[in-house]
Amino acid sequence: MSPAERFARLPDLLAADTDLRRRGGWLTADCRIDIGAEPFYLTLREGALADLARGPHLLRSVAFSISGTEEAWQRHWQPIPEPGWHDIFALTKRGAASMQGDLRPLLQNLQYFKDLLALPRRLAEAA
């Protein structure tokens, strides 16, 4: 499974994680996550994923976006990621990912987003 294909499974992964949805209960935001060249638009409502739109959507506005190379996500989602690939800020520090836009909703819900973006790790064994 390519990193983008793994990320496309996010709705099921989040639906199965009641604790993460509970922790995101105050979060409502639209954001974009780029898996390599492929953008995903997330519509988050009270911690749940109301919509996940894959591919380019022209003029679609989001609060913030996080972009990572294919390699960054692929290594981030290893069952036990290697040092330097194990956290979103490790990725940004090494230049393999970046964050743009209004980062306030991201920082207000930082652990939620870290855990959300790590969910595809759970697919590793099935891959």
Which residue in the block uniquely carries the two structure tokens 């990320």? 7
Is residue 111 close enough to count as binding another protein by CB under 8 A?
A: yes
Among 12, 25, 84, 127, binds another protein (CB under 8 A): 84
Region near another protein per CB under 8 A, out of 3-11, 53-61, 64-72, 76-84: 76-84
Place of tokens 């390599």: 36
Nearer to another protein, 46 or 51 (CB): 46
Q: How far is CA 8 from the centre of its chain?
A: 10
Applying CB under 8 A, the site for another protein has a residue count of 19
Confirm or reject binding of residue 25 to another protein (CB under 8 A).
no
Burial class (CB in 10 A: 0-12, 13-18, 19+), 55: exposed
Please report how close the Cβ of residue 88 comes to another protein at its closest, in angstroms: 7
Alpha-carbon distance of 9 to 35, in angstroms, equals 13
Q: Give 29's strand partners.
A: 44
> Among residues 59 and 80, whose Cβ is nearest to another protein?
80
Does residue 83 interact with another protein by CB under 8 A? yes
- Name residues contacting another protein, limited to 86-105 (CB under 8 A): 86-90, 92-94, 103-104
Look at the chain and count its residues. Answer: 127
110 membership: H or E segment, kind and range: helix 110-118
Burial class (CB in 10 A: 0-12, 13-18, 19+), 107: exposed
What is the binding site for another protein (CB under 8 A)? Answer: 80-81, 83-84, 86-90, 92-94, 103-104, 107-108, 110-111, 114
